[in-house]
Amino acid sequence: MNNININATSTPPSGGRGASVRVFAPATVANVVCGFDVLGFAVNEPGDEVVMRLTDKPGITISKITGDDGRLPLDPAKNTVSVSVQHYLQSIGRPELGLDIELHKKMPIGSGLGSSSASTVAGLFAAKTLLDDETDVMQLLPFAMKGEEMACGHGHADNVAPALLGGFILVRSYDPLEVIRLPHPEGLYCTVVFPDVDVPTREARQIIRNKVLLKDAVTQWGNIAGLVSGLFMQDIDLIGRSMQDILVEPVRSMLIPDFYRMRELAMEAGAVGFGISGSGPSVFALTKDETTARNITQKLQQHLTHIKIYSQGYVSPVNAAGPRVLERF
């Protein structure tokens, strides 16, 4: 992972059958409570879709974006998907390639669900598929991070890496970049609830303290190590005990309506652990089974309705596969 060399293994088809592809990439829960910027996992639902086709005209165009309420730019120089894909094309020596992108947003933007990462990963995976590029998907990570940098001013990998690789991911180091795929217990379920309030990642990062006390750091890295150990040991109770964050959550929780009440509700209903998804405002809970996950989703959404906040809820197992081709035509 330290040295990233990209090699295109073949030329793209010139048109007709195989010249278009539809790809899905999953939403992600970054941080997993204690692992700010270094832990994340992918979920099966929601996720974004990209339809990409080879064109005769050189350069990238974006012909359509749906599900974004007009918030995302169609200008390929300003859109995270096209910018990331352009970096990838350059790296494989095909900067002139003609590609058209349709982006279908299937999750709220600025929700803490790795919305931009899902779109970017779907775009990169679509391009790799169209080019029949056999390079390991891991090699797309630096290009996906370019998109993240553009979306929120910081190239963190805890959303893009799980969106790209699936499962739980540890970012062991940013310089040099090293990400490690972690195992997780079979049957682990996740509920994510998005309370419809505005918390832009850029701002959610600005309010965090830059300095931490050594005693707090000791608590935090104990929990991160505990969580990673729990994942390896398939020890769900250890995973739950380790999902504590004393550095970021106390500050960010102020941006989320009734955060601590929601935690109480989730834990009472049997959550393994509960916290903020990425930079929020979405919250998530890990559970041992689907029924508990559905029950928690219902309780959290009922509570949000009670305090007059619209919400969306998603229940799914941890996504182990990352992006997938839905259709090639």
Catalog residues that contact ligand HSE under the rule CB under 6 A: 30-31, 36-37, 112, 114, 156, 158-159, 201, 204-205, 278-279
> To the nearest whole angstrom, how small is the minimum distance from the Cβ of residue 120 to ligand HSE?
13
From 28, 49, 120, 148, the catalytic residue? 148
- Based on CB atoms, which residue is closest to ligand HSE, 205 or 288? 205
Tell me whether residue 135 or residue 259 sits nearer to ligand HSE (CB atom).
259
In angstroms, what is the minimal distance from the CB of 296 to ligand HSE? 21
First to last CA, the chain: 33
Q: Is 120 tagged catalytic?
A: no
148 catalytic, yes or no? yes
Our CB check for ligand HSE shows the closer of 92 and 152 to be 152
- The CB-of-59 to ligand HSE minimum distance in angstroms stands at 30
Closest CB 29 distance from ligand HSE, rounded Å: 9
- Which residue number, 207 or 326, has a Cβ lying nearer to ligand HSE? 207
Shortest gap between Cβ of 168 and ligand HSE (angstroms)?
14
Residue whose CB is less far from ligand HSE, 114 or 273: 114
* Active-site hit among 191, 201, 292, 297: 201
Measured CA distances, 303 to 113, 141, 278, 296, 306 (Å): 20, 38, 21, 11, 5
Output the 3-class SS for the chain: CCCCCCCCCCCCCCCCCCCEEEEEEEEEEECCCCCCCCEEEEEEEEEEEEEEEEECCCEEEEEEEECCCCCCCCCCCCCHHHHHHHHHHHHCCCCCCEEEEEEECCCCCCCCCCHHHHHHHHHHHHHHHHCCCCCCHHHHHHHHHHHHHHHHCCCCCCCHHHHHHCCEEEEEEECCEEEEEECCCCCCEEEEEEECCCCCHHHHHHCCCCCCCHHHHHHHHHHHHHHHHHHHHCCHHHHHHHCCCCCCHHHHHHHCCCHHHHHHHHHHCCCCEEEECCCCCCEEEEECCHHHHHHHHHHHHHHHHHCCCCEEEEEEEECCCCCEEEEEC
Quote the least distance from Cβ 70 to ligand HSE, whole Å. 23
Nearer to ligand HSE, 174 or 267 (CB): 174
Closest residue by beta carbon to ligand HSE: 278
Which one-letter amino acid corresponds to residue 213? L
Indicate which residues carry an active-site annotation. Answer: 148, 201
